[in-house]
Amino acid sequence: MITGYKKKRLGHPSKRLFGDVPREKWRAVIFSEIIFPIIMAVLFVIVYMFVKAFPDKDGKQLPSLLACIAIISLGPVVWNAAVILVLFMSSLSLGLML
């Protein structure tokens, strides 16, 4: 997404069409890569908690909705860290054997 500058190339005529492309402004990068995703995440959490706040047709209320969101969002991160740790340990031992 953040590219930098493309220089004009000499040689093939189709490559001469590239002009200098200015770098993205830092304010635009901060807004599009940090602030906007945080706003969208907060909005989705609020909407999810509102929809799930009502009891179902049996009258049962769901447990803590923030705990459900934390498990759904942090579960894959923890699982990925565990798999990477196991693969790192196996590569250490197999690397020494090879």
Question: 61-82, pLDDT tens digit by residue?
Answer: 877 888 888 888 999 999 999 9
Which residue type sits at 29?
V
Residue in 31, 27, 33 with CA at minimum distance from that of residue 1: 33
Domain spans, the chain: 26-52+65-97
Is the pTM higher than 0.85? The answer reads: no
50 near 69, Cβ under 8 Å? no
Average pLDDT, the chain: 81
User: Of 43 and 25, which is predicted with more confidence?
Assistant: 43
Q: What is the pLDDT of residue 83?
A: 97
Q: Taking a C-beta distance cutoff of 8 angstroms, is the pair 8, 19 a contact?
A: yes
**What separation in angstroms does the CA of 49 have from each of 34, 45, 53, 58, 65?**
23, 6, 6, 19, 6
